[in-house]
Amino acid sequence: MTPVRRVEGVAVALRRDNVDTDQLLPARFLKVPRQQGYGGFLLHDLRHDAEGRPVDGMPLNDPAHAGAKVLVARRAFGVGSSREAAVYALVDFGIGAVVAASFGDIFAANAANNGLITAEVAEADIEVLLAAVATEGTAVVDLESCTVTSGRLTAPFTIDPVRRTKLLNGWDDLDLTLSHHDAVTAFVAADRIARPWAQEIPEVSGR
């Protein structure tokens, strides 16, 4: 995974609470092979009416938001089922960071494993940030300083420190474990001395 330190570019203000994973990627699209990409299905049923026509006023349908990199929403973004494909839809669409007042925990974990920043902004700031993004049309999400900026507005955000470390280094869960190699090796060596009786007993040949 490529390290992520900063995401900047076109930003979209999605003034919605409780955007769940079934909205992000409706279940019927899960049968599509991953290699075909899920970006075209992102928020499909919110972006289209029952006849499949684009919904007027839906921010992601606005040509001005083409190539969006940052999505700003309200509370409880990514709640619902644990489907990782909801993250795939955002990443395949081109979104590199989602800013919201809160996130579904499993969604945030899946996001970190796929290079997507989940920046949690205080509710006191989120409406101001939504307004700024709607006016400016761009935003910068800086993972090193943990700030999101749009125009003259800069707001701090929080993110789980382990997920932040993984994103900054481009690590998956295995890489994270390997980063503790020296500590694990030292523990094993000390444990062999402290608990020799707990070590594996070699098989005796001929038995």
CA 33 to chain centre: 21
Phi, psi of 33 (to 5 degrees): -60, 140
What domains sit in the chain, N to C, each tagged with a CATH number? 6-170 (3.20.19.10)
pLDDT at 1: 84
pLDDT band at 203 (very low <50, low <70, confident <90, very high): low
Angle at the Cα of 159 from the Cα atoms of 154 and 163, rounded to 5 degrees: 135
pLDDT at 201: 67
Tens of pLDDT, residues 80-90: 999 999 999 99
Residue 26 has pLDDT above 60, yes or no: yes
Q: Which of 110, 155, 106 is nearest to 132 (CA)?
A: 155
Q: What is the mean pLDDT of residues 47-69?
A: 94
Which residues face 153 on adjacent strands?
150
Amino acid at 10: V
Which residues face 149 on adjacent strands?
140, 154
**24 backbone φψ class: left, alpha, beta (φ>0; ψ -120 to 50):** alpha
**109 backbone φψ class: left, alpha, beta (φ>0; ψ -120 to 50):** alpha
Tens of pLDDT, residues 64-115: 999 999 999 999 999 999 999 999 999 999 999 999 999 999 999 999 999 9
Residue 207 has pLDDT above 60, yes or no: no
Buried b / exposed e over 134-157, threshold 16 CB at 10 Å, is eeebbbbbbbeebebbbeebebeb
Give, to the nearest 10 degrees, the angle between helix 105-112 and helix 85-93: 50
